[in-house]
Amino acid sequence: MGDVEKVKEEAMQILGASEVLPKLVVFDLDYTLWPFYCECRSKREMPSLYPHATGILLALKQKGIHLAIASRSPTPHIASSFLNKLNLNSIFVAQEIFSSWTHKTDHFQKIHSTTGVPFNSMLFFDDENRNIQAVSKMGVTSILVGNGVNLGALREGLTRFSQNWNASQKNKQRWLDKYSKKPDTSNS
């Protein structure tokens, strides 16, 4: 069994142990899926992903979870070329790759418009804290990766997603309990 298959198998176990799964997982590209900045490379080069990235992507896809890209790369043509060379273009339901000063909030608005997935049903991995902070405020569970996406980050992300989901469901139930009670008309 190759490294990709081992990582995929372990990722499937992590996914199987999670009590609730996101509908959509969004990845940054530079220093999250691959260990470089696109703008520092030539599109003629053959790119490579971080060691765990392929296995994680395949496991998420096999589990029926949609995947998307949110990248602020100033060279979207290179990013797209690299995704093509890695045979990854077809696995993403949305690819928002454009330079922006909004810390990816515009990217997520477009991803939401394209997919219809609510922000609280998304999980996001990125290597920049400013993006994590901005996107978290939208209701997306966001995980800062230090050295690319890996099984530890996946485990942390799914744990935090479950915690956030459970908290939002409890708040929703409290609201329903408080505001959907029928007035008591049994006074005789």
CA–CA separation, 169 and 173 (whole Å): 6
What is the number of other CB atoms lying within 10 angstroms of the CB of residue 114?
Answer: 13
pLDDT tens per residue, range 146-179? 999 999 999 999 999 999 888 877 666 676 677 7
So where are the chain's domains? 1-187
SS3 assignment, position 28: coil
117-123: average pLDDT: 96
Q: How far is Cα 6 from Cα 96, in angstroms, rounded to an integer?
A: 30
Q: Give the pLDDT mean for 71-77.
A: 94
Note if the pTM is more than 0.85. yes
Q: For the CA atoms of the chain, what is the radius of gyration?
A: 19
Report the top-level CATH class of 1-187.
alpha beta
Is pLDDT above 70 for 186?
A: no
Q: Give me the mean pLDDT over the 24-35 stretch.
A: 97
Active site members: 28, 30
CA-CA distances (angstroms) from residue 147 to 41, 127, 134, 153? Answer: 19, 8, 20, 10
Report the pLDDT averaged over residues 38-59: 94
Please say if the pLDDT value at position 109 is more than 80.
Answer: yes
